[in-house]
Amino acid sequence: MITSDLGEFERLAAIGYDDLKRGCYDAASARLSEALALWRGTALTGATEFLADAEQPRFTEFKMAALEGRVEADLALGKHDQLVLELNDLVERFPLRERIRAQLMTALYCCGRQADALEVYRRGRELLAEHLGVDPSAMLNNVFQSILNGELTLEVPGAPTRKLNVTSRTAERPALLPPDLADFTGRESHLRRLFAEMRSEGRGPLAISGMVGTGKSSLAVHLANQCLPDFPDGHLYVNMKGGDDLFQVLGKFIEALGLDGELPQSLEERTQLYRAKLADRRMLILIDNAQNESQARMLLPSIGRARGIVTSRVRLAVLDGARRVDLGPFERAEALELLGKVIGPGRVGAETVAAERLVELCEHLPLAVRIAAARLAARPHWSLARLLRRMSDGSQSRLDELRISNLDLRAALKQNYDPLPATKKAALQRLALLGTYTIPVWAAAAALNVPEREAEDLLEELVDARVISVGGPDREGRFRYRLPELFLLLLMEQGEREYAKAEQTAVHTRVLQTCVSRMRVAGVGERRALATLTGAGPPIPSDALPTAEPTSDNGEGLSFASVQRWMAESSSRISTSRLASLWEFCLQIAAYIDGQGI
């Protein structure tokens, strides 16, 4: 290129840029093509090495800017098909040039090739991170997000926004995933593991389980949204809690994937068609609130490049190839962080003690914390201490306070409770009459009036149903079971309506009888201690307590120390009126056993 060529190039390019800004795309394309035609070979060929090294990058930038401007004009003119081949070559030659990559994504999108467009973005993101250690620019991210939303427009600085014509094939790239939570909080260790699993070679689904309110759906939706660039063919979503059966869901998924003709009218035919449409697609399928493995297995991809995420209250133990994550409550710091994100860190910082106690009353349960935070956000004139006082004023008021708009903790807990068989509901209500959320097997057996083995089997079934949890072994290695405190409040409401005072008394009596009868041969001090555990009266005379050796239907002796610890823990959570009755029962039982010579 000689000096006169450079001058002519700059003149033509300036005219082309001006036409582009004015929306005169035909003229812009012609002038910029004419300018680019002046480039015949490499600039400054034959010049000194010093001059070439100094000026060649600047001249190359002139050429690339003109080339990008001409492509912009051709995109506006609808020449998408012709541009794809050229832009593919340019992206290969200039992989870190984001404007060209965005233009290729736009051309592919307008050709109805959304999956390919998103793959171009994914590859660009990887290259930028690998070579420069940076994320894609706002411009490239905006194009990516617009393609995801199906709302891509052509924006040229200084020119009016132009709507792009897109082929009807866009309907074949479904986008059913809910939006991510703007204030998603916590679960960092779980997310690291889940991200690693999503990018691994394995094709098994991710199964996220947990009790009500632990944030299973929020975690799954957040994970899925973060992984969208890895699945350019789209994403499917269904919440099985909504009541749709598999036949209906398969119909919705098939229609989202693109249907030619009528939907098959049998479940088997729909399943076959659904799997055929998934076979060669890099898609993400999220099945929320699956009731069992059969539901999940029917909707999750079985072959091909698609990946599945499934959430369920129960552990999907026999879901083939699944990578499992089980969620519990938040850590204290996570609960406080969520509270701060919703109401503002300033309010939390101004009342740190009240904030910590508030999340404790929520048991660090994400749903309960979010509801409490939403109530405070809706009432900026309330202090945290005010809500704390309201939640501490009696057992029922805590559940009353934990509801706002469509968020209701009591209703969420009842969704866990209502589907249970009547026998399990009755068992839970009797266990709730104990007034404590830590329950050893022997106490459950006494409350339910069944052998220990039967009580243990029932407790394990309730663990499987995710209404109670295993609280870990006591000091002697025996497992104890735990009723979540908020769920216990619900059960106490139910039990006090269902059972007469006589039944409540009978449950307490059986447990206290078990406490007395299961004491091993103990010293006077230990036997006196049983009577003083509740703090409701003077010690029982030592001669009023039995010294019989206990028996256990599972062949294990139960030490007085373990009984004493559980009674001490339980008594701190039982109302004053109930403590008095426990004291009375303890006296009566001791006198009865002594009188019978047991």
- Per-residue pLDDT reduced to its tens digit, 72-81: 988 888 888 7
Q: What pLDDT shows up at residue 48? A: 47
Please give the model's pTM, rounded to 2 decimal places.
0.65
pLDDT at residue 369 is higher than 80: yes
pLDDT at residue 472 is higher than 50: yes
The vertex-276 CA angle with 121 and 310, nearest 5°, equals 65
Give the chain's mean pLDDT: 79
Q: Label residue 166 by pLDDT band (50, 70, 90).
A: low
How distant, in Å, are the alpha carbons of 426, 458, 519 from that of 431?
A: 9, 12, 22
Q: Label residue 527 by pLDDT band (50, 70, 90).
A: very low
pLDDT at residue 562 is higher than 90: no
pLDDT at residue 409 is higher than 50: yes
Q: Residue 1 and residue 193: Cα distance in Å, rounded?
A: 56
Q: What pLDDT shows up at residue 357? A: 96
Element (H, E) at 526: helix 524-532
Cβ proximity of 222 and 184 under 8 Å: yes
More confident residue, 129 or 571: 129
Q: What pLDDT shows up at residue 289? A: 93
Cβ proximity of 104 and 88 under 8 Å: yes
pLDDT at residue 425 is higher than 50: yes
Can you count the helices (H) and strands (E) in the chain? 27, 12
pLDDT at residue 303 is higher than 50: yes
Cβ proximity of 494 and 430 under 8 Å: no
50-59, 270-279, 344-353, 409-418: least confident range: 50-59
> How far is CA 239 from its chain centroid?
13
Nearest C-alpha neighbor of 250 from the set 231, 266, 234: 266
pLDDT at residue 347 is higher than 90: yes
| Domains parsed from the chain with CATH numbers | 3-167 (1.25.40.10), 188-325 (3.40.50.300), 332-414 (no CATH), 420-596 (no CATH)
Q: What pLDDT shows up at residue 530? A: 46
pLDDT at residue 568 is higher than 70: no
Q: Label residue 598 by pLDDT band (50, 70, 90).
A: very low
More confident residue, 91 or 518: 91
pLDDT at residue 550 is higher than 60: no
Q: What pLDDT shows up at residue 557? A: 42
Q: Label residue 500 by pLDDT band (50, 70, 90).
A: low
Q: What pLDDT shows up at residue 364? A: 96
Q: What pLDDT shows up at residue 435? A: 76
The CA-based dihedral angle spanning residues 82, 86, 91, 93, taken in that order and rounded to the nearest 10 degrees: 180
256-276 average pLDDT score: 86
- Per-residue pLDDT reduced to its tens digit, 167-208: 444 446 788 999 998 889 999 999 999 998 888 777 789 999
pLDDT at residue 537 is higher than 50: no
Nearest C-alpha neighbor of 35 from the set 10, 60, 64, 65: 10
Q: What pLDDT shows up at residue 559? A: 47
More confident residue, 355 or 268: 355
Q: Residue 441 and residue 459: Cα distance in Å, rounded?
A: 8
Strand partners, 473: 479
Q: Residue 410 and residue 368: Cα distance in Å, rounded?
A: 10
Q: Label residue 542 by pLDDT band (50, 70, 90).
A: very low
Q: Residue 410 and residue 312: Cα distance in Å, rounded?
A: 19
Query: Burial of 574 by CB count in 10 Å (0-12 exposed, 13-18 middle, 19+ buried)?
Result: middle
38-52, 390-404, 539-553: least confident range: 539-553
Nearest C-alpha neighbor of 282 from the set 304, 300, 306: 306
307-316, 358-367, 581-590: least confident range: 581-590
- Per-residue pLDDT reduced to its tens digit, 209-253: 999 999 999 999 999 999 988 888 889 999 998 667 899 999 999
Element (H, E) at 44: none
Which residue is associated with the tokens 């209250």? Answer: 313
Element (H, E) at 244: none
Element (H, E) at 315: none
pLDDT at residue 52 is higher than 50: no
Q: What pLDDT shows up at residue 281? A: 83
Q: Label residue 61 by pLDDT band (50, 70, 90).
A: confident
- Per-residue pLDDT reduced to its tens digit, 444-471: 998 899 998 999 999 999 999 999 998 7
Per cent of the chain over pLDDT 90 is 35
Q: Label residue 3 by pLDDT band (50, 70, 90).
A: low
pLDDT at residue 567 is higher than 50: yes
- Length of the chain equals 598
